[in-house]
Amino acid sequence: MFVCQYAKQGSLRKLLDNRYKDLIKGLVAIHEANLVHKDFHSGNIVNDNTYNSFITDFGLCRPKFLLDILHIMTYHMILA
């Protein structure tokens, strides 16, 4: 028989799943505002405590419509 201490906070998987939910909510809010972060990576995620994560560094954040215009212009330049 193997006996171990009870972990009140649950597994690492549960902890990570909860954090991902917060990050997804943040990304959804950014996208619903018609913005694109453009620099989303682990270094731009900060933690207030074990359960609260925040997305930071919006320096490259741009309105989505500008990115669409640039994409169209670049596409047409390549074809020309």
CATH number at residue 62: 1.10.510.10
Tell me, letter by letter, the H, E, C secondary structure of the chain. CCCCCCCCCCCHHHHHHHHHHHHHHHHHHHHHCCEECCCCCHHHEEECCCCCEEECCCCCCEEHHHHHHHHHHHHHHHHC
Q: Is residue 7 part of a domain?
A: no
Q: Is residue 5 part of a domain?
A: no
% of the chain beyond a pLDDT of 70: 80
Q: pLDDT tens digits, residue range 17-45?
A: 777 777 888 889 888 988 888 888 888 88
What token pair was written down for 16?
């990570």
Note the pLDDT of residue 79.
Answer: 61
Q: Is residue 44 part of a domain?
A: yes
Q: pTM for this structure?
A: 0.58
